[in-house]
Amino acid sequence: MFVLVNLKTYPCDPVAVAEAVRDVDESTDARLAVAPQAADLARVAETGVETWAQHVDPIEHGSNTGHTLAESVADAGAVGTLINHSEKRLKLADIDGSVRAAERAGLETVVCANNPEQIGAAAALGPDAVAVEPPELIGTGTPVSQADPDIVEDAVEAADNVDSEVSVLCGAGISTGDDVVAAGDLGAEGVLLASGVAKADDPQAALEDLVDPL
């Protein structure tokens, strides 16, 4: 299973969480990575943890003030990027442009979507993976795998119908090892999570619990 920890803009220490993710990664067969804010990418990558961006823009080098360039993200040490997170939604043409920009820079891509219908559209753009995250469950602590397991199964089917090479992650409310196992049982190859680790008093202990049954 792939466990991608999105730090959003939570007031945590990104380097401390990165070190915890790195250390736990060494003790599990699961693949762990962390997605800090763009400004923290280089510091986080220096810890040696697998580092992801939260977003890249559909642009090239040039006159694009305030944008995030895929090549700069890669130069800072990121190996992948989220695109179209529910908190950073893009138009279809821009999702496509961001996937192409990420590919150009050699970044792995996970395109997020709210529901199985959008997952089919996202998979058609040819990312490495898609992630289904019902927005109403994000940050609630109620895992999507428990609250609405059909969403995960339908997302896996929708992606498979379009492109069987595109793997499916799920996210929203995931905070325990049981939640991760349940996601895997529903066909997901990984999970996206945030508050369960980034807001935990002890992020390392929270991560250890998450990967324990894997």
Question: Which residues contribute to the site for ligand 13P (CB under 6 A)?
Answer: 6, 85, 133, 138-139, 171-174, 192-196
> Per the annotation, does 63 bind a ligand?
no
**Minimal distance, residue 137 CB to ligand 13P, in Å:** 7
For ligand 13P, the closer CB: 71 or 181:
181
For ligand 13P, the closer CB: 76 or 138:
138
For ligand 13P, the closer CB: 120 or 173:
173
**Minimal distance, residue 172 CB to ligand 13P, in Å:** 5
Residue nearest to ligand 13P (CB): 195
Q: Which amino acid is at 178?
A: D
Beta bridge partners of 2: 31, 190
Q: Is 24 helix (H, G, I), strand (E, B) or coil?
A: helix
> Per the annotation, does 141 bind a ligand?
no
Residue whose token pair is 């349940």: 182
Helix 116-123 × helix 149-162 angle, to 10°: 30
> Per the annotation, does 131 bind a ligand?
no
Task: For residue 160, report the phi and psi dihedrals to the nearest 5 degrees.
Answer: -65, -35
For ligand 13P, the closer CB: 65 or 172:
172
Helical ranges in 76-201 per DSSP H:
92-104, 116-123, 144-147, 149-162, 177-185, 195-198
Which DSSP category does 86 fall into?
Answer: T
**Minimal distance, residue 75 CB to ligand 13P, in Å:** 24
Is 61 labeled as catalytic in the residue annotation? no
Q: What angle do CA 48, 49, 52 make, to 5 degrees?
A: 125
Catalytic positions: 85, 133
Binding residues for substrate: 6-8, 138, 173, 194-195
Binding residues: 6-8, 138, 173, 194-195
